[in-house]
Amino acid sequence: MDIKLDREYLKGFITQNDYKNLMPAIEKAHRDLENRTGKGAEFTGWLDLPRKMEDAVLDELTAFGQEIRDHADCLLSIGIGGSYVGIHASLEFLISDQKLPVYFAGHNLSSGYLYHLLNTLKDKRLTVVVISKSGTTTEPALAFRIIKQFMKEKYMPEELKKRIICITDPKKGALRSIANKEGYRTFPINDDVGGRFSVLTPAGLVPLAIAGIDVKGLIQGARKAQDQCSMMDLSKNIAYQYAAARYLLYTQGKTIEVLSTFYQRMSLVEEWWKQLFGESEGKDGKGVFPTSLSFTTDLHSMGQLIQEGQRNIFETFLIAEDSGHECIIPYDEDNVDAFNCVAGKDLDYVNKQAYKATAMAHFEGGVPNMTITIPRFDARTLGQLYYFFEKAVAIKGYLLGVNPFDQPGVEAYKNKMFALLGR
Ligand code: PA5
């Protein structure tokens, strides 16, 4: 595995004996997941998806992406939750690889946002991708209504058909019915994969292929993680190490996990992680509250609370060995700011010292922490990272005794909103 997990700053909080005592529960969670005998087993299609996905399908998707790019200035991706955040996170992470600008809609109900977006898009050659697994979610459904009208005013019917792509359930849902009726191109979302686990299905891969992202690389990385995160040996399986540490910290009252990155390109991966972990664990009165920070920016705001606030927090740092681009700090004759000590060095050198200092200071302040290090910002690494987190949350959910693959609580607000809307 190219991704590394460092647990040095858990010392004094978790002992080798704690891991040893947890082993029978980890082994049971492992068996339940791999044999599909645990809770929510019908939604574990993501587990062997990378190895099942054929290269030929990925090549077709890549060619399809090129075909769309030949006739578009930009892509508008409509969707929310699992049908949105992974796409946006991938584009931010892989910003250097993106070949087509991508805009997003349907992830909020803000009129102002949509008004300004459509204004920006009015003179551009536009392709629209609507993603909704259920095909019935309010936010993307309403955005699509408005955008469909905008597209109808912009394009003749035959051209319109080529410019709207629907990704949804193969048989049911309103979006499927609309696509069938209007003759829009469609891609199916796997039945056995929940929204938050769907970034490596057509829900994520189709818009990413259109944006010019190396979708084959993403899946190749996920395949590698699939192999390595399937091993029962705790000393070799970092997904299980991460799940076990999170569980043991939770049993000590560390009920908040802060995922802190020192790299802007991972701030939306943190958002993706929040949905994955929050929706998977937060049920039956249980679950770690996942939150995230962007350092060093947030060290100047939330740093105080982490260093000296209530000791119910643990932290996971997300850092990169290679930041991707150099930015050398110049030598200054006057040296008024006294920073000639780092003249000639890359800014990332300072960033890495900031990380080391923060991890040490927070540990000494009573915040146990781990570090996930990725080697670089490429598609393979991102595919690995996604699969690593998916596997970790599944095992952690089983350790907690919850079904990590459902989200019954999400319905509560919807039912009340529908009542208010008279729907
Ligand atoms: O993880 C989930 O299931 C949710 O966040 C969904 O992804 C989100 O509600 C969007 O659902 P849909 O794709 O059905 O429109």
**pLDDT > 80? residue 265:** yes
User: Is residue 75 domain-shared with residue 11, that is, in the same domain?
Assistant: no
What pLDDT does residue 190 have? 85
Instruction: Tell me how far CA of residue 1 lies from CA of 261, 347, 381, 383, in angstroms.
Output: 20, 27, 10, 12
Q: Which of 257, 279, 281, 315 is catalytic?
A: 279
The pLDDT tens digits for 83-123 are 999 999 999 999 999 999 999 999 999 999 999 999 999 99
Residue 292 near residue 277, CB atoms below 8 Å: no
For the chain, what is the radius of gyration of the CA atoms?
23
Active site annotation includes 116: no
Helix 16-34 vs helix 238-251: crossing angle, to nearest 10: 120
Is 281 known to be catalytic?
no
Q: Could you tell which of 283, 410, 411 is best to mutate to test the pocket of ligand 1, judged by most ligand atoms within 8 Å of the CB?
A: 410
Residues 55 and 34 occupy one common structural domain: no
CB 188 within 8 A of CB 169: yes
Task: Write out pLDDT tens, residues 324-367.
Answer: 999 999 999 999 999 999 999 999 999 999 999 999 999 999 99
β-pairing, 289-294 vs 256-261, is parallel
Which among 99, 325, 356, 414 is annotated as catalytic? 414
Type of residue numbered 81? G
Ligand 1 cavity residues, CB under 6 Å: 80-83, 132-134, 137, 140, 194-196, 279, 407
Domain end position, chosen among 188, 219, 250: 219
Neighbouring C-beta atoms of residue 16, cutoff 10 Å: 7
Domain that holds residue 167: 49-219
Same domain? For 20 and 153 the reply is no
25 Cα to the center of ligand 1, angstroms: 30
What is the predicted pLDDT for the residue at 365?
97
| 55 and 33 belong to one structural domain | no
Ligand 1 atom nearest to 82, measured from its CA:
7
Instruction: Mark whether 189 and 257 lie in a shared domain.
Output: no
Residue 389 lies in a domain: yes
The closest of 90, 324, 57, 67 to 213, measured between CA atoms, is 90
Pick the residue whose CA is nearest to atom 5 on ligand 1.
Answer: 81
**pLDDT tens digits along 151-201:** 999 999 999 999 999 999 999 999 999 999 999 999 999 889 999 999 999
Report the nearest-CA residue for atom 3 of ligand 1: 195
Q: Which residue, 194, 219, 244, sits at the end of a domain?
A: 219
